[in-house]
């Protein structure tokens, strides 16, 4: 299988490391067991029919493994995969060039597909459903329609905002899967695997401590592992211990629950400026100087997962757990 990308290249060693840490086979992909079982059935059945799998859509928070699943699917189905972020497809001509470059059995992975241009999206409907494109050439009475037949391909979409996908687009996916936060034990397993790939020794207590601060998210676990590795190397330590994890992440202002400066700022604003809430999103955004979408997509899901805030019909409310964690009297 070859892997090709239409996305801008990130010319950095970090990109190489991320690619190295990405699982290359199902047995190395930790977590999301229900989704993996379903995908194996979909791919296996398509192979028996000598057909391409149905179009697939993954949704969930950033860093939960949507892109990795897309690569594993293509590898399992023995097809090429091409990747692109939706905002890069600016006009229908970009989509036409992309689709006509595909071969039979190829996979097209579109990340952030909720950000597709609406005009581009409309061209995608017939491509997904009938594997055809109808192009209008020219203008006015001289305009002509050109029908193009496309090779059978599988579109894999990924989004963090399922509600922003139009119903017509959503309805053309054969299967839709939600990726959830990972269990701490799964994050520990990912950390140990990544440490081995990075040629770092880490003991069990350190892996457990790092897992607690990784926000139940593999991408964050790997990011923190690399930063802890840096600290260990600067101190000439050959093994990452719990103490090194605590010291390095404290320096990076990541607390024992994985909360960062932004999370604390939001909690303290709700408690101190709005007397614990409820507070609306707009008011909270103004009080913290954080964009509304950043609060919704980056901070809030984890704070809710930990039970530090809850959403009510009137707005966000800080819970007793939040007061206790920040050591603030109710």
pLDDT at residue 268 tops 60: yes
Residues 171 and 24 in one domain: yes
Domain containing residue 313: CATH number: 1.10.10.10
Catalytic residue among 111, 159, 212, 217: 111
% residues pLDDT > 90 (the chain): 73
Which among 325, 291, 290 has a CA at the least distance from the CA of 306? Answer: 325
Q: Is 160 a catalytic residue?
A: yes
Reduce the DSSP state of residue 178 to 3 states and report it: strand
Distances (CA, A) of 187 to 140, 191, 212, 218, 219: 59, 6, 9, 6, 10
| Residue 281 sits in the same domain as residue 317 | yes
Q: Which CATH number fits the domain that encloses residue 154?
A: 3.40.50.300
Same domain, 117 and 11: yes
| 133 plus 224 within the same structural domain | no
Which entry of 68, 83, 159, 160 is annotated as an active-site residue? 160
pLDDT in tens, 50-62: 989 999 999 999 9
Among 139, 161, 178, identify where a domain stops: 178
The pLDDT mean for the chain works out to 89
User: Catalytic: 67?
Assistant: yes
pLDDT for residue 2: 42
Residues 173 and 32 in one domain: yes
Residue 7 confidence (pLDDT)? 41
Q: Are residues 146 and 13 both part of a single domain? A: yes
Told to judge if 25 belongs to the known catalytic residues of this protein, a careful annotator would answer: no
Q: What is the value of pTM for the model shown? A: 0.84
Q: What is the pLDDT of residue 10?
A: 41
CATH number of residue 211's parent domain: 1.10.8.60
Together in a domain, 132 and 13: yes
> Is 159 part of the annotated catalytic residue set?
no
Instruction: Tell me how far CA of residue 269 lies from CA of 173, 255, 304, 311, in angstroms.
Output: 41, 18, 16, 15
Per residue in 187-243, pLDDT (tens digit) is: 999 999 999 999 999 999 999 999 999 999 999 999 999 999 999 989 888 899 999
Is residue 46 a part of any domain in this protein? yes
User: Distance between CA 21 and CA 23 in Å, rounded?
Assistant: 6
- Whether 113 and 157 have beta carbons less than 8 Å apart is answered as yes
Percentage of the chain with pLDDT > 70? 91
Looking at the fold, whether 21 and 134 belong to one and the same domain comes out as yes
Last residue of a domain, one of 229, 251, 273: 251
Q: How many domains does the chain have?
A: 3
Pair (153, 274) in one structural domain: no
| Full domain range(s) for residue 25 | 3-178
Indicate whether 105 and 24 sit together in one domain: yes
Per-residue pLDDT reduced to its tens digit, 70-114: 999 999 998 999 999 999 999 888 998 999 999 999 999 999 999
Confidence band (pLDDT; 50, 70, 90) for 133?
confident
Active-site annotation holder among 215, 219, 229, 316: 219
């Amino acid at each position: 299988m070859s892997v090709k990308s239409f996305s801008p290249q990130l010319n950095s060693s970090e990109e190489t490391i991320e690619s190295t840490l990405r699982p290359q086979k199902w047995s190395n992909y930790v977590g999301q067991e229900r989704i993996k079982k379903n995908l194996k059935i979909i791919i296996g059945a398509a192979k028996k029919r000598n057909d391409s799998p149905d179009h697939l859509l993954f949704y969930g928070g950033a860093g939960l493994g949507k892109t990795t699943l897309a690569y594993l699917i293509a590898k399992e189905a023995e097809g090429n995969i091409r990747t692109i972020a939706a905002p890069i497809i600016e006009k229908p001509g970009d989509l036409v060039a992309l689709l006509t470059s595909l071969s039979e059995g190829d996979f097209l992975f579109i990340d952030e597909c909720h950000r597709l241009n609406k005009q581009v999206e409309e061209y995608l409907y017939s491509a997904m459903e009938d594997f055809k494109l109808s192009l209008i050439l020219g203008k006015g009475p001289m305009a002509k329609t050109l029908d193009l037949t496309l090779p059978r391909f599988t579109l894999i979409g990924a989004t963090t905002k399922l509600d922003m996908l139009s119903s017509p687009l959503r309805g053309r996916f054969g299967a839709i899967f939600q990726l959830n936060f990972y269990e701490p034990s799964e994050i520990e397993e990912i950390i140990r695997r990544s440490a081995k790939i990075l040629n770092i020794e880490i003991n069990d207590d350190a892996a457990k401590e790092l897992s607690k601060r990784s926000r139940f998210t593999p991408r964050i676990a790997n990011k923190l592992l690399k930063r802890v590795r840096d600290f260990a190397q600067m101190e000439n330590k050959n093994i990452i211990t719990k103490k090194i994890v605590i010291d390095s992440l404290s320096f990076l202002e990541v607390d024992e629950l994985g909360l960062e400066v932004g999370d604390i700022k939001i909690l303290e604003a709700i408690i101190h400026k709005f007397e614990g809430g409820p507070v609306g999103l707009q008011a909270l955004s103004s009080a913290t100087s954080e964009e509304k979408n950043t609060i919704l997509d980056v901070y809030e899901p984890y704070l809710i997962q930990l039970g530090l805030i809850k959403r009510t019909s009137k707005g966000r409310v800080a819970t007793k757990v939040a007061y206790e964690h920040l050591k603030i009297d109710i």
